[in-house]
Amino acid sequence: MPIIQNETDKKAVIKRYKRRSMWAEVWRNFKKSKGAMTGIIILIVVLSACTIGEFIYDYHEDIVKQSFDQRLLRPSWKHPFGTDQYGRDIFARILYGGRYSFSVGVVAVIISFSIGTTLGIVAGYYGGVIENIIMRITDVFASIPSVLLAIAITAAFGQSLLVLMFAVGVVGVPAFCRVARASVMTVVGQEYVEAAHAAGAKNWQVLIRHIVPNSMAPIIVQCTLRVAQAIITASGLSFLGLGVPTPSPEWGGMLSDGRAYIRDYSYMTMFPGLAIMITVLAINLIGDGLRDAMDPKLKR
Amino acid sequence: MSKTKKNIVLLLLACLLMSVLSGCAPSSSEQSDVGPSEEPQETAYQKTIVIAPALDFVSTETQVTTSGTSKSVFLMVFNTLVEQDTEKGGLIPSLAESWELVSDDTWEFKLRRGVKFHDGTDFTAEDVKFTIERGKEQGASKAKLESIKRVEIVDDYTVHIIMSKPDVDILYKLTDPNCVILSKNAFETLSEEEAYKIGTGPYTYNRWEQGDYLSLLRFEDYWEGTPKTEEIVIRNIPEAASRLIALQTGEIDICISPPQIDLHYIAEDPNLTLLQIPGANCRYIGINSSKKPFNDIRVRQAIAHSINRKGFVEAVYEGNATVHNNVMHPGNLFYKEIEGYSYDKEKALALLAEAGYPNGFSATIYSSSGTVQKAVATVMQAQMAEIGIDLEVQSLETATFNATVAPGSDYDMCVNGWGGYVVGPDNALRNMFYTGGNNNNFGFSDEYVDKTLDEAVSISDIETRKKLYGELQEYITNQAVFLPIAIEMIDMGVKSDLEGFVPPQGSIQKFKNVYIPIE
Amino acid sequence: MIRYYKSIMIILNRERDLMIRYTIRRLLMLIPILIAVSLVVYFIVDLAPGDVVDVIAPDDASPEDKELLREMMGLNDPFIIRYARYMQGLMRGDLGKSYVNNRDVFEVYFSRLPNTLLLALAGAFVAVLIAVPLGVVSAMHRGSWKDAISMIFGLLGLSMPNFWLGLLLIIFFSLKLGLFPSYGSEGWSSIVLPAITVGTAQAALVMRTTRSSMLEVVRQDYLRTARAKGVPERTVIYKHALRNALIPIVTVMGTQLGVALGGAVFTETVFAWPGVGRLVVDAINSRDIPMVTGCLILTTMLASFLILLVDIAYAFIDPRIKARYTK
The domain spanning residue B351 has which CATH number? 3.10.105.10
With residue B321 as reference, give the H or E element that holds it.
strand B321-323
Across A179-183, A266-270, C249-253, which has the greatest mean pLDDT? A266-270
Residue among C314, C228, C312 nearest C18 (CA): C312
Q: Is residue C279 part of a domain?
A: yes
> Using the beta-carbon criterion (under 8 Å), do A86 and B315 form an inter-chain contact?
yes
Contacts of B193 in chain C (CB under 8 A): 102-103
Strands B413-418 and B272-287: antiparallel
pLDDT of residue A7: 56
Domain count along chain C: 1
The answer to whether residue B9 neighbours chain C at the CB level (below 8 Å) is yes
With residue B381 as reference, give the H or E element that holds it.
helix B371-385
**Rounded to 5°, angle at Cα B39 from B37 and B45:** 80
Q: What does the pLDDT average to over B434-452?
A: 89
**How far is residue A118's CA from residue A139's CA, in Å, rounded to a whole number?**
16
Q: Is residue C59 part of a domain?
A: no
- Bridge partners, residue B495, by sequence: B272
Contacts of B237 in chain C (CB under 8 A): 183-184, 272
The answer to whether residue A80 neighbours chain B at the CB level (below 8 Å) is no
- Assign B458 a pLDDT band (cuts: 50, 70, 90): confident
Q: Give the CA distances from residue C58 to residues B61, B139, B477, in Å, rounded to whole numbers and listed in that order.
A: 13, 8, 24
The answer to whether residue A97 neighbours chain C at the CB level (below 8 Å) is no
List pLDDT tens digits, range A101-124.
Answer: 999 999 999 999 999 989 998 898
**DSSP state at residue A247:** T
Strands B390-396 and B362-368: parallel
**How far is residue A234's CA from residue A252's CA, in Å, rounded to a whole number?**
8
- Domain of residue B128: give its range: 79-192
Q: Nearest Cβ partner of A152 from C44, C155, C212? A: C44
Q: Give the CA distances from residue B363 to residues B387, B394, B412, in Å, rounded to whole numbers and listed in that order.
A: 13, 11, 6
pLDDT of residue A251: 93
Which domains does chain A carry? 45-64+77-298 (1.10.3720.10)
**Residue at C11: amino acid letter:** I
Q: Give the CA distances from residue B222 to residues A251, B1, B225, in Å, rounded to whole numbers and listed in that order.
A: 54, 69, 5
pLDDT of residue C197: 92
Contacts of B57 (CB under 8 A, 6+ apart): B67, B69, B70, B73, B208, B214, B234, B236
Q: Is residue B360 part of a domain?
A: yes
Ranking B32-36, C253-257, C294-298 by mean pLDDT, the lowest is B32-36
Q: Which of B172, B192, B212 is the last residue of a domain?
A: B192
Tell how far CA B447 is from the center of its chain.
Answer: 31
Q: Give the CA distances from residue A168 to residues A107, A108, A239, in Å, rounded to whole numbers and listed in that order.
A: 9, 6, 14
User: Among positive and negative, which fits the CA dihedral B364, B366, B369, B374?
Assistant: negative
> Using the beta-carbon criterion (under 8 Å), do A68 and B311 form an inter-chain contact?
yes
> Using the beta-carbon criterion (under 8 Å), do C32 and A136 form an inter-chain contact?
yes
Q: Spell out the alpha helix ranges (H) of chain C.
A: 2-47, 52-56, 63-73, 79-91, 105-140, 145-159, 162-169, 192-218, 221-228, 233-235, 242-260, 265-271, 276-285, 289-317, 319-326
Across B161-170, B382-391, C257-266, which has the greatest mean pLDDT? B382-391
- Domain of residue C202: give its range: 105-326
List pLDDT tens digits, range C205-248.
Answer: 888 888 888 887 777 777 777 777 777 777 777 777 777 777 77
Residue among B129, B118, B90 nearest B190 (CA): B118
φ and ψ at B366, to 5 degrees?
A: -100, 145
Q: Is residue C249 part of a domain?
A: yes
Is residue B479 pLDDT above 50, yes or no?
yes
CA distance B350 to chain C (A): 36
Percent of chain C with pLDDT over 70: 91
Q: Which of B174, B192, B210 is the last residue of a domain?
A: B192
* Average pLDDT taken over every residue of chain B: 86
Q: CB–CB of B417/C74 below 8 Å?
A: no
Residue among C290, C287, C304, C262 nearest C38 (CA): C290
pLDDT of residue C221: 72
Q: Is residue B148 part of a domain?
A: yes
The answer to whether residue A297 neighbours chain B at the CB level (below 8 Å) is no
Q: CB–CB of A274/A42 below 8 Å?
A: no
**How far is residue C209's CA from residue C132's CA, in Å, rounded to a whole number?**
9
Q: Is residue B235 part of a domain?
A: no
- Bridge partners, residue B489, by sequence: B278
With residue B450 as reference, give the H or E element that holds it.
helix B447-457
The answer to whether residue B211 neighbours chain C at the CB level (below 8 Å) is yes
Is residue C282 pLDDT above 50, yes or no?
yes
Q: CB–CB of A81/A87 below 8 Å?
A: no
CA distance B346 to chain C (A): 37
Q: What does the pLDDT average to over B187-213?
A: 92
Return the CATH number at B157.
3.90.76.10
Q: CB–CB of A235/A251 below 8 Å?
A: yes
pLDDT of residue B208: 92
Residues 292-311 on C with a CB inside 8 Å of A are: 292, 296, 299-300, 303-304
pLDDT of residue B23: 38
Give the side-chain half-sphere CA count within 13 A for C105. 25
pLDDT of residue B333: 78
3-state helix, strand, coil in chain B (%, to 5): 35, 25, 40
Is residue A202 pLDDT above 80, yes or no?
no
CA distance B190 to chain A (A): 36
**Rounded to 5°, angle at Cα B407 from B297 and B399:** 125
CA distance B402 to chain A (A): 13
Residues B185 and B295 in one domain: no
pLDDT of residue B238: 84
Q: For chain B, report the end-to-end CA distance as a whole number of angstroms.
A: 69
Q: What does the pLDDT average to over C57-66?
A: 73
Is the reported ipTM for this assembly greater than 0.85? no
pLDDT of residue A12: 57
**How far is residue C266's CA from residue C277's CA, in Å, rounded to a whole number?**
8
pLDDT of residue A5: 52
Is residue A84 pLDDT above 60, yes or no?
yes
Q: What is the pTM of this model?
A: 0.82
Q: What does the pLDDT average to over B23-48?
A: 52
Q: CB–CB of B9/C246 below 8 Å?
A: yes
Residue of C151, C155, C172, C174 to mutate, testing the A interface (most A Cβ within 10 Å of its Cβ): C155
- Assign B12 a pLDDT band (cuts: 50, 70, 90): very low
pLDDT of residue A109: 95
pLDDT of residue B303: 95
* Average pLDDT taken over every residue of chain A: 84
Domain count along chain B: 2
What residue of B is the nearest CA neighbor of A262?
A: B241
- Bridge partners, residue B235, by sequence: B213
Percent of chain B with pLDDT over 90: 52
Contacts of C300 in chain A (CB under 8 A): 143-144
Residues B187 and B307 in one domain: no
pLDDT of residue A166: 95
Q: Which residue has the higher pLDDT, B117 or A245?
A: B117
**Residue at B335: amino acid letter:** Y
Q: Spell out the alpha helix ranges (H) of B254-296.
A: 263-268
Q: CB–CB of B123/B136 below 8 Å?
A: no
pLDDT of residue B14: 42
Q: Give the CA distances from residue B57 to residues B209, B210, B246, C256, C271, in Å, rounded to whole numbers and listed in that order.
A: 10, 8, 18, 32, 18
Q: Is residue B425 part of a domain?
A: yes
Q: Is residue C119 part of a domain?
A: yes
Q: Give the CA distances from residue A40 to residues A46, A295, B327, in Å, rounded to whole numbers and listed in that order.
A: 10, 19, 59
Q: What does the pLDDT average to over B210-219?
A: 92
Give the three-state DSSP class for C287. coil
**How far is residue A182's CA from residue A192's CA, in Å, rounded to a whole number?**
18
- Residue A173, class by beta-carbon neighbours within 10 Å (0-12 exposed, 13-18 middle, 19+ buried)? buried
Is residue B517 pLDDT above 60, yes or no?
yes
Q: Give the CA distances from residue B265 to residues B2, B259, B278, B497, C10, in Å, rounded to whole numbers and listed in that order.
A: 62, 10, 20, 17, 75
Residues B183 and B286 in one domain: no
Percent of chain B with pLDDT over 70: 91
Residue among B442, B286, B291, B441 nearest B361 (CA): B291
Q: Is residue C137 part of a domain?
A: yes
Q: CB–CB of A138/A177 below 8 Å?
A: yes
Percent of chain C with pLDDT over 90: 17
Return the CATH number at C194.
1.10.3720.10
Ranking A22-36, B124-138, B306-320, B366-380 by mean pLDDT, the lowest is A22-36
pLDDT of residue A209: 77
**How far is residue B311's CA from residue B319's CA, in Å, rounded to a whole number?**
9
Q: What does the pLDDT average to over A133-152?
A: 88
CA distance C179 to chain A (A): 15
Q: Is residue C31 part of a domain?
A: no
Q: What does the pLDDT average to over C6-16?
A: 69
Ranking A61-65, A220-224, B264-268, B470-474 by mean pLDDT, the lowest is A61-65
> Using the beta-carbon criterion (under 8 Å), do C57 and B66 form an inter-chain contact?
yes
Between helix B447-457 and helix B425-433 the angle, nearest 10°, is 160
With residue A10 as reference, give the H or E element that holds it.
helix A2-32
**DSSP state at residue C240:** I
Q: Nearest Cβ partner of C175 from A156, A228, A263? A: A263
Residue of C121, C222, C269, C278 to mutate, testing the B interface (most B Cβ within 10 Å of its Cβ): C121
Contacts of A232 in chain C (CB under 8 A): 159, 161
Q: Is residue C312 part of a domain?
A: yes
Residues B383 and B483 in one domain: yes
Contacts of B53 (CB under 8 A, 6+ apart): B68, B69, B72, B234, B256, B257, B509
List pLDDT tens digits, range B122-175.
Answer: 999 999 999 999 999 887 888 788 889 999 999 999 999 999 887 777 888 899
Residue among B225, B229, B247 nearest B237 (CA): B247
The answer to whether residue B215 neighbours chain C at the CB level (below 8 Å) is no
**Residue at B419: amino acid letter:** G
Is residue B281 pLDDT above 80, yes or no?
yes
**Residue at C196: amino acid letter:** I
Q: What does the pLDDT average to over C116-135?
A: 90
Q: Is residue C232 part of a domain?
A: yes
- Assign A17 a pLDDT band (cuts: 50, 70, 90): low
pLDDT of residue C321: 54
With residue B5 as reference, give the H or E element that holds it.
helix B2-30
CA distance B315 to chain A (A): 7
**How far is residue A279's CA from residue C160's CA, in Å, rounded to a whole number?**
10
Q: What does the pLDDT average to over A142-150?
A: 88
**How far is residue C218's CA from residue B493's CA, in Å, rounded to a whole number?**
61
Is residue B285 pLDDT above 60, yes or no?
yes
Q: Nearest Cβ partner of A140 from C37, C159, C259? A: C37
